[in-house]
Structure 1
């Protein structure tokens, strides 16, 4: 959830983790919302309102059409603007520029809406796919951290269900262990 305080905190935590293991990670953000075909712009209801749906779409489109370092910077720029600015067209366009994403030619603008609205069909489709994917995992809380398909930690007001820790060093250790197991 792009406007969720828990997600913003987790993204900040993951930033320090990625500084140590980015070459071992295929990072994916999965968004939580409820499909509602009567919702005119997104066909979904996001917990923090329609602006959050727009922010989710903008972030999904950035992730689809740009390298990780660019879309990750786009998300951090969004967060830095303050959670109530996420999803606004001016924030998306400003952050695209800051993250060196060419909104008009990269595919991101066409995906999310050239006007930055987050209402373009492709992006809304990505949102629906993300919501459905999250449901296959039983994803209910933002922020839930999965490593190699396994839930390792949740931040929902506070850290929960983090049997192996929730500090940067803990996530790095878990990622390294999963990577070593996959590449043994």
Structure 2
């Protein structure tokens, strides 16, 4: 019986199907809280990073909070209040049901008070602090779904988060609990913590901390490219 290499030699089976393995994506995680100013700053910075390396990474947001069965609405305590828990759920449901381009635009819209980031031209990071009070509100979630071209009613996002936009959908709350517990296992304590290839590389907690290899977008791009090359033996 011919093996694949023999078939390749005879031109009956392209050699690249034998020799070329799929590339390994670099896991990249941001440990965040949806209403935290440090998280908003990191997410804004990573908007630039994603434009350069989104095809090389497996990207996710993991939410830092406390599971708390005595909390009636979310079964969790979020540092910036129940609206933050709702915001976390909105973003988790968007990530669960839509491609990266859509859910990331949804997150960016959340951070810009329910508006399209591309239409705004803010230059000072602390400007984002004024926007936090809109994150987690039903009207913000639905408006941002529209801006991100997500059908709230039919995409699965609304059903997950609650069609009323409350963030209290059963699936969404379960996703929140899983995300919180995942963050615990990863050792995430500060929002925002940046992890590349399962290693913490930088924290923004009022200021940049523990960033041995830099904290600019270009620094994270460089680290991701290096990890990608290592994982794929290039």
Tell me if TM exceeds 0.5.
yes
Correspondence for 2:172 among 116, 123, 128: 123
* Structure with greater Cα Rg: 2
Deviation of 1:19 (Å): 1.1
- Which residue does the alignment assign to 2:181? 132
Deviation of 1:136 (Å): 0.4
Moved more, 19-28 or 155-164: 19-28
- Which residue does the alignment assign to 1:13? 45
Instruction: Indicate whether 1:74 and 2:106 are aligned.
Output: yes
Gaps of 5+ in 1: none
Secondary structure of 2:61 counterpart: coil
Instruction: Indicate whether 1:43 and 2:78 are aligned.
Output: no
- Which residue does the alignment assign to 1:168? 217
Correspondence for 1:58 among 64, 67, 90: 90
2-side partners of 1:98 and 1:66: how far apart?
A: 13
- Which residue does the alignment assign to 1:26? 58
Secondary structure of 1:29 counterpart: strand
Deviation of 1:125 (Å): 0.2
1:61-107 superposed Cα distances (whole Å, 9 cap, x missing partner): 00000000000000000000011000000000000000000011110
1-side partners of 2:180 and 2:142: how far apart?
A: 24
Deviation of 1:156 (Å): 0.2
Answer 1 or 2: which has greater strand percent.
2
2-side partners of 1:115 and 1:178: how far apart?
A: 42
